[in-house]
């Protein structure tokens, strides 16, 4: 009952997180990767100590490939450029190999045209919308026998609102990191959002399902438990399970973030933030919102 009783505190925390994320998005905007805007990425690693960033900048300064360079690992650099042809790729690799005693090895080269980037962006948006729509339909169907005191379709809308919270928070974090640290939003980030949606809805449904079961045994007449009591007891009964499931997943992701390869670090970070937000919303936001909706209905009916 603690969570339901003090639900306004948790609403405030979620509201601050969501407002901060929206402000970050509107003020700073996304920093799209080459997956969405097109371009090339060249990752190199030097056999001995890597040269200073200014030296690498000087080596390729005259090529006019719109390059930006970021250090990676202990000996490497990631260079982002406009979309390069094979001839242009050979030119930049040659320029980077001027120091014959420390010639870098090309670890990765990816190039995506602007048309493919736009297609990837549109398909990513469509996939997220379709997932949300499918979740609403599924939950409305799954809870179709629950009509009182809150209609089944409202369970679906509350779930989507909680999921919006779960994807908005990591998105805001990545926009901020993109502004201050150069983090990019790419298809791996969209993949992370889809995983977060699946994980979070799973947690939310577990609590909702317990509410549905407990409503069957809520008693009758004067002995009938009120809806807020039923929801509070349902949260308490599933709280430990939700936390334990999320903690084990977060531990695995934390290990992947710390010791995993460079290319998976941003993915694991997005999942860490999103699954944490999802666990929070399934316990502290979604289920308490059922009580709030029921309270609004009672006021509207004059009860």
Tell me what pLDDT residue 198 has: 83
How do residues 146-199 score in pLDDT, each as one tens digit?
666 777 778 888 888 898 899 999 999 999 998 888 788 887 888 888 889 888
Question: 10 Å Cβ neighbour count for 140?
Answer: 17
CB 114 within 8 A of CB 75: no
Residue among 236, 250, 251 nearest 283 (CA): 236
In this predicted model, what pLDDT tens digit does every residue of 11-58 receive, in sequence order? 999 999 999 999 999 999 888 777 777 778 888 888 888 888 888 888
Q: Cα dist. 15→129, 166, 296 in Å?
A: 22, 12, 19
pLDDT digits (tens, 9 = 90+) for 117-148: 667 777 777 888 888 788 778 877 777 776 66
Distance CA 96, CA 57 (A): 9
Kindly state the helix (H) or strand (E) to which residue 109 belongs, with its residue range: strand 105-112
Rg for the chain, CA atoms, rounded: 25
pTM of the model: 0.77
Average pLDDT, the chain: 83
């Amino acid at each position: 009952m603690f969570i339901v009783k003090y639900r306004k505190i948790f609403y405030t925390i979620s509201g601050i997180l969501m407002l901060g994320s929206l402000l970050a998005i509107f003020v700073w905007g996304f920093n799209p990767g080459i997956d969405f805007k097109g371009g090339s990425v060249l990752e190199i690693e030097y056999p001995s100590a890597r040269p200073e960033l200014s030296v690498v900048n000087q080596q390729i300064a005259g090529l006019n490939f719109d390059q930006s360079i970021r250090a990676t690992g202990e000996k490497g650099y990631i260079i982002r450029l406009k979309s390069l042809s094979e001839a242009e790729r050979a030119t930049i690799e040659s320029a980077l190999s001027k120091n014959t005693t420390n010639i870098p090895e090309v670890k990765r080269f990816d190039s995506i045209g602007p048309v493919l980037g736009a297609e990837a962006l549109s398909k990513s948006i469509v996939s997220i919308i379709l997932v949300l729509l499918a979740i609403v339909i599924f939950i409305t169907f799954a809870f179709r026998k629950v009509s009182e005191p809150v209609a089944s379709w409202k369970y679906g809308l509350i779930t989507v609102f909680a999921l919006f919270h779960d994807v908005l928070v990591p998105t805001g974090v990545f926009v901020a990191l993109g502004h201050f640290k150069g983090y990019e939003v790419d298809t791996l980030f969209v993949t992370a959002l889809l995983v977060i949606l699946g994980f979070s809805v799973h947690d939310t449904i577990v609590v909702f399902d317990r509410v549905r079961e407990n409503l069957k045994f809520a008693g009758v007449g004067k002995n009938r438990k009120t809806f807020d009591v039923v929801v509070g007891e349902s949260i308490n009964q599933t709280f430990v399970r939700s936390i334990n499931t999320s903690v084990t997943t977060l531990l695995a992701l934390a290990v992947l973030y710390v010791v995993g390869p460079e290319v998976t670090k941003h993915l694991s970070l997005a999942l860490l933030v999103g699954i944490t937000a999802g666990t929070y919303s399934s316990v502290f936001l979604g289920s308490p919102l059922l009580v709030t909706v029921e309270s609004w209905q009672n006021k509207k009916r004059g009860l």
